[in-house]
Amino acid sequence: MCVRPRRWEPAGCGGQTNEQAEEFTQRFRQEARVTARIRHHGVPQVFDAVLDASFEVVYLVMELIDGIPLRDYINPGNPLPLTWVAAVAAEIATVLSHAHAIPVVHRDLKPDNVLVTREGAVKVIDFGIAAILDVR
């Protein structure tokens, strides 16, 4: 299990405004809600989300992923094997396809938001700015 703290820091030195606090609250709840809806082996499971009124206790309790960011594998001077790249891309596509069926759009997919575990499993993380689509 992993506890993922989300630190809220106001933009100015004068403390938080109601608008900033509300925006933070909405984004935190959105990430918890979106990530919890996606039940897929390629997305860390969310067990709990805590946000108290004082903003002193704010965290997600999630599945612990012991992985390396995809960014760390990228080296222009040493290209990765095409078969490995294709396999990782296929796993990412599977996760996104599953999320889109819910329907959720990640909106921040990048190498830093993809982890590769020691066993080679691919995990898409950080649904912080994801959108739940309204399909009527």
Q: Which residues are catalytic?
A: 108
**Phi and psi at residue 19, in whole multiples of 5°?**
-65, -45
CA dist 51 and 29 (Å) reads 8
Strand order in the sheet with 122-124: 67-69, 114-117, 122-124
Instruction: Report residue 78 as tokens.
Output: 């040493």
Place of tokens 């222009």: 76
